[in-house]
Homo-oligomer: A and B are copies of this chain.
Amino acid sequence: MTITEQITGMAVAAKQASRQMSILSTAIKNRVLAHMADGLQAEKEFIQEENRKDLAAGRERGLSAAMLDRLALTDRVIEGMIAGLREVIALPDPVGEVSEMVRRPSGITVGRMRIPLGVIGMIYESRPNVTVDAAALCLKAGNAVFLRGGSEAIHSNLALAQVLQKALLREGVDQAAVQVVPVTDREAVNALLQLEEYLDLIIPRGGESLIRFVAQNSRVPVLKHYKGVCHVFVDASGRPEMAVEIVMNGKVQRPGVCNALETLLVHRDQAPVFLPMVADVLLGAGVELRGCPDTCRLVPAAKAAAPTDYGNEFLDLILAVKVVGGLDEAMEHIVRYGSQHTEVIVTEDYSHAQRFLREVDASAVMVNASTRFSDGGQFGLGAEIGISTSKLHAYGPMGLKELTARKFIVYGEGQVRA
């Protein structure tokens, strides 16, 4: 059997399982999730034993300490997965929701019913907890899920899949509803990306190169974001103290994530007072500043920014800074260098706030708040399966609803079309 045949066989089974999944009651889905949580607790030692094989192999292959850290299924990580499962149990089931029901002039009653997407493929790297988190969300939304983690985590992922499948079995649910691809060749990913007949959506999570590979080679629809190059624009009327807090929070609180701040834009009239003030705090927190000539004049400790610093996702304690002439120049900069992730204006000017909200094309646009709020949990979606920075189907953080679709339903009384 070739890898393509093996992957196709698994996908056919997933599609078949997705039919059962789509009509499961909320009670059964929640019981499965609870069994999963219990199973992770009960089989912790087995999981960690398998995880140690990955860690040993990783050390041998010379993975970085950061990579090994992300790979490790410590007690704390397993507790996190269990807590995540309990959170998903508590979320409302999106499936079956009927909305927009109206009587039409023809006499038929038309509405929309929320339904699962079908089979969702996750392609991800290193962190084995994605296996559990993604499976839980897909399952709660009534989907089957097809998981393809990285080769470095294969033992961990297969062990977790075993625990998850046992939980399905206990409620009589087809175990093909949650499958981990056991083949870690790149060929397996390629095969998976061609299965448009069986997969309804692919969500890649990981480095930009993985995501670009998936997006460029997939015949299955893909929801993804490449990177988060988030800006804060401090307008002339923005309150300096508020702006300092928002900039610090965006840059320093967790610099390695996609909703961290990467570039600060400052209104020319605000710059002379604000820039030295914010630089003081940023430099104190160990942030390297890379500024335009105006910035460097006002903040002697700033380095001169290279052209590539704008639009760069540093994911580190580095901030690009630029003085701009006003709102229009700030928005032009964002069009040119932004990644449609999260953009913030700090202003007290009502019209500027409204224009920024309306005109900036990003999945999240904010007035007087930290970029770090751009997150499914913070936005009230519950847990998050990913973020989309393209507009089709979902734009921004994706929760349970984004793992569903809506069909039209019609209640008639024998109507025919005239």
Contact = CB atoms under 8 A, between A and B. Distances in A.
Given A200-B391, A335-B19, A373-B417, A104 B379 contact: yes
A201 B395 CA distance: 14
Contacts of A361: 19, 22, 115, 407
A364 interface: yes
Contacts of A366: 108, 409-412
Contacts of A110: 373, 378-380
Nearest to A116: B391
A397 B117 CA distance: 17
A301 interface: no
Given A372-B416, A416-B249, A417-B370, A392 B391 contact: no
**Copies of this chain per assembly:** 2
Contacts of A363: 407-408
A413 interface: yes
A82 interface: no
A390 interface: yes
Given A363-B408, A378-B106, A407-B364, A357 B113 contact: yes
A196 B219 CA distance: 14
A369 B412 contact: yes
Contact of A200 (B23, B358, B390): B390
Nearest to A369: B412
A96 interface: yes
A106 B369 CA distance: 10
Interface of A: 19, 22-23, 96, 102, 104, 106, 108, 110, 113, 115, 117-118, 200-201, 216, 219, 221, 239, 242, 245-246, 248-249, 253, 335, 353, 357-359, 361-370, 372-374, 378-380, 390-393, 395-397, 405-417
Given A357-B409, A368-B414, 20 more contacts: A22-B359, A23-B359, A102-B380, A108-B366, A110-B378, A110-B379, A118-B391, A245-B416, A246-B416, A249-B417, A362-B407, A367-B411, A368-B411, A368-B412, A369-B410, A370-B412, A373-B412, A373-B415, A373-B417, A395-B408
26 contacts: A23-B359, A102-B380, A104-B378, A104-B379, A108-B369, A113-B358, A201-B392, A245-B416, A246-B414, A248-B416, A363-B407, A363-B408, A364-B408, A364-B409, A364-B410, A365-B407, A365-B410, A367-B410, A368-B413, A368-B415, A369-B411, A369-B412, A369-B413, A369-B414, A370-B416, A373-B417
